Structure 1
Protein backbone atom coordinates (compact mmCIF):
# COMPACT_ATOMS: atom_id res chain seq x y z
CA UNK A 1 0.00 0.00 0.00
CA UNK A 2 2.86 2.33 0.75
CA UNK A 3 4.35 1.69 -2.71
CA UNK A 4 0.99 2.40 -4.33
CA UNK A 5 0.75 5.72 -2.55
CA UNK A 6 4.26 6.67 -3.55
CA UNK A 7 3.55 5.63 -7.17
CA UNK A 8 0.34 7.72 -7.22
CA UNK A 9 2.18 10.70 -5.77
CA UNK A 10 4.91 10.28 -8.36
CA UNK A 11 2.29 10.23 -11.15
CA UNK A 12 0.74 13.43 -9.80
CA UNK A 13 4.14 15.13 -9.57
CA UNK A 14 4.98 14.07 -13.15
CA UNK A 15 1.59 15.33 -14.36
CA UNK A 16 2.09 18.68 -12.59
CA UNK A 17 5.60 19.05 -14.00
CA UNK A 18 4.38 18.15 -17.49
CA UNK A 19 1.62 20.75 -17.29
CA UNK A 20 4.02 23.36 -15.91
CA UNK A 21 6.54 22.75 -18.71
CA UNK A 22 3.75 22.78 -21.32
CA UNK A 23 2.27 26.03 -20.07
CA UNK A 24 5.71 27.59 -19.78
CA UNK A 25 6.59 26.59 -23.32
CA UNK A 26 3.32 27.70 -24.86
CA UNK A 27 3.07 30.74 -22.62
CA UNK A 28 6.53 31.89 -23.74
CA UNK A 29 5.46 31.72 -27.40
CA UNK A 30 2.26 33.57 -26.61
CA UNK A 31 4.19 36.32 -24.86
CA UNK A 32 6.53 36.72 -27.81
CA UNK A 33 3.62 36.81 -30.26
CA UNK A 34 1.58 39.03 -27.95
CA UNK A 35 4.44 41.37 -27.09
CA UNK A 36 3.19 43.90 -29.61
CA UNK A 37 1.38 46.79 -27.93
CA UNK A 38 -2.16 47.82 -28.74
CA UNK A 39 -2.87 51.00 -30.66
CA UNK A 40 -5.70 53.52 -30.85
CA UNK A 41 -5.44 56.51 -33.21
CA UNK A 42 -7.72 59.11 -34.75
CA UNK A 43 -7.06 61.05 -37.92
CA UNK A 44 -6.64 64.20 -35.80
CA UNK A 45 -3.84 62.88 -33.55
CA UNK A 46 -0.97 65.38 -33.41
CA UNK A 47 1.70 62.64 -33.38
CA UNK A 48 0.71 61.13 -36.74
CA UNK A 49 3.48 61.41 -39.31
CA UNK A 50 2.03 62.38 -42.67
CA UNK A 51 4.07 61.79 -45.80
CA UNK A 52 3.53 62.33 -49.53
CA UNK A 53 1.39 60.12 -51.74
CA UNK A 54 2.81 58.52 -54.90
CA UNK A 55 4.12 61.09 -57.38
CA UNK A 56 1.23 60.66 -59.85
CA UNK A 57 -1.20 62.05 -57.26
CA UNK A 58 -1.81 65.81 -57.35
CA UNK A 59 -0.31 67.97 -54.59
CA UNK A 60 -2.23 67.88 -51.31
CA UNK A 61 -2.49 64.11 -50.89
CA UNK A 62 -0.86 62.63 -47.77
CA UNK A 63 -0.56 59.21 -46.12
CA UNK A 64 0.14 58.22 -42.52
CA UNK A 65 1.18 54.66 -41.73
CA UNK A 66 -0.73 53.51 -38.65
CA UNK A 67 0.49 49.95 -38.32
CA UNK A 68 2.84 47.68 -40.17
CA UNK A 69 5.56 48.17 -42.74
CA UNK A 70 4.41 49.50 -46.16
CA UNK A 71 6.89 47.17 -47.89
CA UNK A 72 5.32 44.10 -46.24
CA UNK A 73 1.92 42.44 -46.05
CA UNK A 74 -0.87 43.81 -43.83
CA UNK A 75 -0.31 47.53 -43.50
CA UNK A 76 -2.89 50.05 -42.25
CA UNK A 77 -2.87 53.70 -43.31
CA UNK A 78 -4.82 56.94 -43.19
CA UNK A 79 -5.09 58.45 -46.68
CA UNK A 80 -5.96 62.17 -46.66
CA UNK A 81 -6.93 64.58 -49.45
CA UNK A 82 -8.38 68.12 -49.39
CA UNK A 83 -12.00 68.92 -50.27
CA UNK A 84 -12.68 68.90 -54.06
CA UNK A 85 -9.61 66.72 -54.64
CA UNK A 86 -9.70 64.35 -57.60
CA UNK A 87 -7.85 61.07 -57.17
CA UNK A 88 -6.60 59.95 -60.60
CA UNK A 89 -7.40 56.50 -61.95
CA UNK A 90 -5.06 53.90 -60.47
CA UNK A 91 -4.90 50.36 -59.14
CA UNK A 92 -3.22 48.41 -56.32
CA UNK A 93 -1.72 44.92 -56.17
CA UNK A 94 -3.59 44.44 -52.90
CA UNK A 95 -7.26 44.33 -52.11
CA UNK A 96 -8.28 47.30 -49.94
CA UNK A 97 -10.58 47.40 -46.95
CA UNK A 98 -11.60 50.98 -46.25
CA UNK A 99 -13.61 53.08 -43.82
CA UNK A 100 -14.19 56.79 -44.41
CA UNK A 101 -13.45 58.74 -41.23
CA UNK A 102 -13.88 62.30 -42.57
CA UNK A 103 -15.58 63.99 -45.52
CA UNK A 104 -17.58 62.48 -48.36
CA UNK A 105 -15.88 60.42 -51.05
CA UNK A 106 -17.27 59.54 -54.47
CA UNK A 107 -15.64 56.32 -55.67
CA UNK A 108 -15.90 54.65 -59.08
CA UNK A 109 -14.40 51.25 -59.87
CA UNK A 110 -13.91 50.28 -63.52
CA UNK A 111 -17.15 48.91 -64.99
CA UNK A 112 -19.22 49.93 -61.96
CA UNK A 113 -21.41 52.88 -61.04
CA UNK A 114 -20.19 55.62 -58.73
CA UNK A 115 -20.69 54.97 -55.03
CA UNK A 116 -20.76 57.64 -52.35
CA UNK A 117 -18.99 56.99 -49.08
CA UNK A 118 -20.07 58.99 -46.04
CA UNK A 119 -18.35 59.02 -42.64
CA UNK A 120 -18.45 55.50 -41.24
CA UNK A 121 -18.96 53.84 -44.65
CA UNK A 122 -17.07 50.62 -45.34
CA UNK A 123 -15.80 49.77 -48.82
CA UNK A 124 -13.94 46.85 -50.30
CA UNK A 125 -11.74 47.37 -53.35
CA UNK A 126 -10.68 44.25 -55.27
CA UNK A 127 -7.00 43.84 -56.07
CA UNK A 128 -5.81 45.21 -59.44
CA UNK A 129 -9.20 46.81 -60.21
CA UNK A 130 -8.76 50.38 -61.54
CA UNK A 131 -10.65 53.11 -59.71
CA UNK A 132 -10.98 56.87 -59.32
CA UNK A 133 -12.40 59.01 -56.54
CA UNK A 134 -13.31 62.59 -55.73
CA UNK A 135 -13.56 64.17 -52.31
CA UNK A 136 -16.70 66.23 -51.70
CA UNK A 137 -16.59 70.02 -51.47
CA UNK A 138 -17.22 70.53 -47.73
CA UNK A 139 -14.48 68.75 -45.76
CA UNK A 140 -11.17 67.01 -46.38
CA UNK A 141 -11.48 63.26 -46.89
CA UNK A 142 -9.63 60.88 -44.61
CA UNK A 143 -9.87 57.22 -45.47
CA UNK A 144 -8.63 54.37 -43.32
CA UNK A 145 -7.23 51.67 -45.63
CA UNK A 146 -6.09 48.17 -44.68
CA UNK A 147 -3.89 46.65 -47.39
CA UNK A 148 -3.40 42.87 -47.48
CA UNK A 149 -0.27 43.05 -49.64
CA UNK A 150 2.58 45.61 -49.56
CA UNK A 151 1.41 49.16 -50.22
CA UNK A 152 1.60 50.24 -53.84
CA UNK A 153 -0.37 52.31 -56.35
CA UNK A 154 -0.05 52.36 -60.14
CA UNK A 155 -1.53 55.10 -62.34
CA UNK A 156 -3.59 54.26 -65.40
CA UNK A 157 -1.90 56.07 -68.24
CA UNK A 158 -4.13 56.75 -71.21
CA UNK A 159 -2.44 56.30 -74.58
CA UNK A 160 -3.05 59.05 -77.13
Structure 2
Protein backbone atom coordinates (compact mmCIF):
# COMPACT_ATOMS: atom_id res chain seq x y z
CA UNK A 1 0.00 0.00 0.00
CA UNK A 2 1.51 3.34 -1.00
CA UNK A 3 0.60 6.55 0.71
CA UNK A 4 2.07 9.71 -0.76
CA UNK A 5 1.72 12.87 1.27
CA UNK A 6 2.22 15.87 -0.98
CA UNK A 7 4.95 18.15 0.38
CA UNK A 8 4.81 16.46 3.79
CA UNK A 9 4.65 12.99 5.22
CA UNK A 10 5.16 10.82 8.28
CA UNK A 11 6.44 8.59 10.09
CA UNK A 12 7.15 8.10 10.38
CA UNK A 13 6.12 6.78 9.32
CA UNK A 14 2.81 6.36 10.63
CA UNK A 15 -0.54 6.85 8.93
CA UNK A 16 -2.60 7.78 5.93
CA UNK A 17 -4.37 10.16 8.29
CA UNK A 18 -1.24 12.25 8.41
CA UNK A 19 -2.06 13.48 4.94
CA UNK A 20 -5.01 15.27 6.51
CA UNK A 21 -2.70 17.42 8.62
CA UNK A 22 -0.94 18.67 5.51
CA UNK A 23 0.22 21.58 7.62
CA UNK A 24 3.65 22.96 8.12
CA UNK A 25 4.77 25.63 10.50
CA UNK A 26 6.74 27.05 7.59
CA UNK A 27 7.37 26.18 4.00
CA UNK A 28 9.55 29.17 3.16
CA UNK A 29 13.21 28.39 2.74
CA UNK A 30 14.43 31.96 2.86
CA UNK A 31 13.93 32.89 6.51
CA UNK A 32 14.81 31.65 9.96
CA UNK A 33 12.31 29.61 11.96
CA UNK A 34 12.18 29.42 15.76
CA UNK A 35 9.68 27.12 17.47
CA UNK A 36 9.43 26.32 21.13
CA UNK A 37 8.21 22.82 21.92
CA UNK A 38 5.04 24.11 23.60
CA UNK A 39 4.15 26.07 20.44
CA UNK A 40 4.31 23.10 18.07
CA UNK A 41 0.98 21.88 16.66
CA UNK A 42 0.63 18.13 17.15
CA UNK A 43 -1.83 15.95 15.23
CA UNK A 44 -2.68 12.28 15.67
CA UNK A 45 -0.95 10.32 12.96
CA UNK A 46 -3.53 7.53 13.23
CA UNK A 47 -6.78 9.14 14.48
CA UNK A 48 -8.54 5.76 14.37
CA UNK A 49 -6.26 4.64 17.22
CA UNK A 50 -7.51 7.44 19.50
CA UNK A 51 -5.25 8.33 22.41
CA UNK A 52 -2.97 5.41 21.46
CA UNK A 53 -1.96 7.10 18.20
CA UNK A 54 1.51 8.51 17.60
CA UNK A 55 1.49 12.29 17.22
CA UNK A 56 3.27 14.28 14.53
CA UNK A 57 4.30 17.86 13.93
CA UNK A 58 5.71 19.03 10.61
CA UNK A 59 8.41 21.62 11.34
CA UNK A 60 9.53 22.62 7.86
CA UNK A 61 9.06 21.63 4.23
CA UNK A 62 11.41 23.03 1.61
CA UNK A 63 9.32 24.52 -1.20
CA UNK A 64 11.79 23.50 -3.87
CA UNK A 65 12.96 20.01 -2.87
CA UNK A 66 10.13 18.90 -0.58
CA UNK A 67 12.75 17.98 2.05
CA UNK A 68 10.87 17.68 5.34
CA UNK A 69 11.76 18.04 9.00
CA UNK A 70 9.30 16.69 11.54
CA UNK A 71 8.92 15.28 15.01
CA UNK A 72 6.94 12.25 16.09
CA UNK A 73 5.87 11.24 19.59
CA UNK A 74 5.48 7.46 19.57
CA UNK A 75 3.56 6.03 22.56
CA UNK A 76 4.93 3.29 24.76
CA UNK A 77 4.60 -0.31 23.60
CA UNK A 78 4.00 0.66 19.96
CA UNK A 79 4.98 -1.16 16.78
CA UNK A 80 5.51 0.75 13.53
CA UNK A 81 5.01 -2.01 10.92
CA UNK A 82 7.27 -2.65 7.95
CA UNK A 83 7.38 0.28 5.57
CA UNK A 84 9.69 2.27 3.32
CA UNK A 85 10.09 5.84 2.07
CA UNK A 86 10.95 7.19 -1.37
CA UNK A 87 13.48 9.65 0.12
CA UNK A 88 16.42 9.02 2.46
CA UNK A 89 15.37 9.33 6.10
CA UNK A 90 17.18 10.07 9.36
CA UNK A 91 16.02 9.64 12.95
CA UNK A 92 17.49 11.35 16.00
CA UNK A 93 16.11 10.09 19.31
CA UNK A 94 15.28 13.05 21.54
CA UNK A 95 13.92 10.97 24.43
CA UNK A 96 13.00 7.36 25.13
CA UNK A 97 14.19 4.32 23.22
CA UNK A 98 13.49 3.46 19.60
CA UNK A 99 14.15 -0.09 18.43
CA UNK A 100 14.58 -0.43 14.67
CA UNK A 101 14.89 -3.46 12.43
CA UNK A 102 15.79 -3.90 8.78
CA UNK A 103 16.99 -7.00 6.98
CA UNK A 104 17.07 -8.92 10.28
CA UNK A 105 19.40 -6.38 11.89
CA UNK A 106 17.93 -4.94 15.08
CA UNK A 107 19.30 -1.79 16.76
CA UNK A 108 18.23 -0.18 20.02
CA UNK A 109 18.63 3.60 19.93
CA UNK A 110 18.54 5.75 23.06
CA UNK A 111 18.49 9.52 23.63
CA UNK A 112 20.89 11.32 21.31
CA UNK A 113 21.23 8.33 18.98
CA UNK A 114 21.08 8.86 15.22
CA UNK A 115 20.45 6.62 12.26
CA UNK A 116 20.22 6.95 8.50
CA UNK A 117 17.82 4.87 6.41
CA UNK A 118 18.42 4.93 2.63
CA UNK A 119 15.45 5.37 0.34
CA UNK A 120 13.31 2.31 -0.27
CA UNK A 121 14.90 0.29 2.58
CA UNK A 122 12.13 -1.67 4.31
CA UNK A 123 12.26 -1.15 8.07
CA UNK A 124 10.08 -1.37 11.17
CA UNK A 125 10.31 -0.08 14.72
CA UNK A 126 9.08 -0.46 18.29
CA UNK A 127 9.00 1.47 21.53
CA UNK A 128 9.48 -0.17 24.91
CA UNK A 129 6.48 -1.23 27.03
CA UNK A 130 7.26 1.33 29.72
CA UNK A 131 8.26 4.44 27.75
CA UNK A 132 7.28 6.46 24.74
CA UNK A 133 9.78 7.99 22.32
CA UNK A 134 10.24 11.43 20.82
CA UNK A 135 11.97 11.48 17.43
CA UNK A 136 13.32 14.24 15.20
CA UNK A 137 13.12 13.03 11.59
CA UNK A 138 14.44 14.45 8.35
CA UNK A 139 13.89 13.30 4.80
CA UNK A 140 15.76 14.72 1.81
CA UNK A 141 12.69 14.85 -0.41
CA UNK A 142 8.91 14.77 0.03
CA UNK A 143 8.02 12.43 2.84
CA UNK A 144 5.85 9.45 2.09
CA UNK A 145 5.07 6.18 3.85
CA UNK A 146 4.70 2.96 1.90
CA UNK A 147 3.30 0.22 4.14
CA UNK A 148 4.42 -3.30 3.30
CA UNK A 149 1.76 -5.17 5.31
CA UNK A 150 -0.65 -2.38 6.28
CA UNK A 151 -0.54 0.59 8.68
CA UNK A 152 -0.25 0.41 12.48
CA UNK A 153 -3.18 -1.13 14.29
CA UNK A 154 -2.22 -0.18 17.84
CA UNK A 155 0.12 -1.44 20.54
CA UNK A 156 1.99 -4.61 19.60
CA UNK A 157 0.14 -4.87 16.30
Give the number of the structure whose alpha-carbon radius of gyration is greater.
Answer: 1
- Select the residue among 127, 130, 137 that pairs with 1:145: 137
Q: Distance in 2 between matches of 1:108 and 1:138?
A: 19
RMSD: 2.9
* CA spacing shift, 1:54–1:70, aligned 2, 3 Å: farther
Q: Distance in 2 between matches of 1:94 and 1:38?
A: 23
Which structure has the highest helix share of the two?
Answer: 1
Q: Distance in 2 between matches of 1:155 and 1:83?
A: 21
- Select the residue among 83, 93, 107 that pairs with 1:100: 93
Per the alignment, residue 41 of structure 2 pairs with 49
Work out whether 1:124 is the aligned partner of 2:116.
yes
Q: Distance in 2 between matches of 1:130 and 1:39?
A: 33
* CA spacing shift, 1:141–1:79, aligned 2, 3 Å: same
- Select the residue among 16, 34, 42 that pairs with 1:39: 34
* CA spacing shift, 1:57–1:143, aligned 2, 3 Å: farther
- Select the residue among 120, 141, 157 that pairs with 2:149: 157
Q: Distance in 2 between matches of 1:116 and 1:108?
A: 9
- Select the residue among 83, 100, 105 that pairs with 1:90: 83
- After the TM superposition, which segments of 4 or more aligned residues of structure 1 sit over 3 Å from their partners? 54-59, 69-72
TM-score for the superposition, normalised by structure 1 = 0.66
* CA spacing shift, 1:112–1:57, aligned 2, 3 Å: farther
Deviations 1:76-131 (A, max 9, x none): 0001110111111111111111100011011001x241001000001001101111
Q: CA deviation at 1:55?
A: 7.6
Give 5+ residue unaligned stretches, structure 1. Answer: 1-32
* CA spacing shift, 1:132–1:55, aligned 2, 3 Å: farther
Give 5+ residue unaligned stretches, structure 2. Answer: 1-27, 151-157
